[in-house]
Structure 1
């Protein structure tokens, strides 16, 4: 089974990426690395005789691999085309999502435009000034 898995991974790597590295890790899992796309795929034997566990993840800065972001179990006898379709779906799920837009700078401040002090804030300021004024008036007598 491991020889068949290695052979399938080599065929799959050629279908997925022009540039790739295929190797077996310490646990016997076959890994396909696409450093130019910063993704990896691993194939390991699944629960059944004809099943293979496919995992996909990203390659981080410095070349280390991040833990798998998604996985699926598929049939090995389905052929390279079926396996490639599963891998492409998993790889698309590992792609980073759209990043949040950067905050807009206006006048040296972050946030929305418009008035900076609301009516409630002015009411608090007036109350505090009134209390301080009352204290000073009463203590000055």
Structure 2
């Protein structure tokens, strides 16, 4: 699978960009970096046969990479020209929305992000809550009763 992925990444890089670098990621996928266009494409294996997850993102100043802006699962046996067309479409989608990465897009009706996830309030300075004071008073009361009982014996 990794050999096929490497060959596909190399062929795809040659079709898409004149200047590129292909290297292997830690997770087993391959990345195509186009420094002259400030974009990267990642081909990562999926659980299915002859399928790969294609992700596209930007290269920031200094050479670091921004998170993926768009992604899609593609069939590797589709052919290089079809994969190149998919990558071009993903690159165009990523360029169309330069200010908002994919992971930050609103998904729910409240526009609060992913479903089932609560929005957190900004953290304030820590103060002792009412419940904590009740616990402290009760512990102090138990210690006082114990001290009084042992003093009266």
Q: TM-score range by the shorter chain?
A: 0.5 to 0.7
What residue number does 2:95 align with? Answer: 95
**Cα RMSD for the two superposed structures:** 1.5
What residue number does 1:79 align with? Answer: 79
What is the correspondence of 1:55-70 to structure 2 with a 5 Å cutoff?
55-70=55-70
Aligned pair in 2 of structure 1 residues 35, 79: CA closer, same or farther (>3 Å)? same
What residue number does 1:27 align with? Answer: 27
**Partners of 1:26 and 1:97 in 2: CA distance:** 28
* Structure (1 or 2) with the larger CA radius of gyration: 1
The two structures have a TM-score, normalised by structure 1, of 0.67
**In 1, are the aligned partners of 2:41 and 2:57 still within 8 Å (CA)?**
yes
Structure 1 residue ranges (4+ consecutive) displaced by more than 3 angstroms after TM superposition: 96-99
Q: Note the residue ranges of structure 2 that are not aligned, 5 or more in a row.
A: 100-153
Q: Which has the higher strand share?
A: 1
Q: Secondary structure of 1:62's match? A: coil
What is the correspondence of 1:1-141 to structure 2 with a 5 Å cutoff?
1-95=1-95, 97=97
- Equivalent pairs counted in the alignment come to 99
Instruction: Give 1:96 shift.
Output: 5.3
Q: Note the residue ranges of structure 1 that are not aligned, 5 or more in a row.
A: 100-141
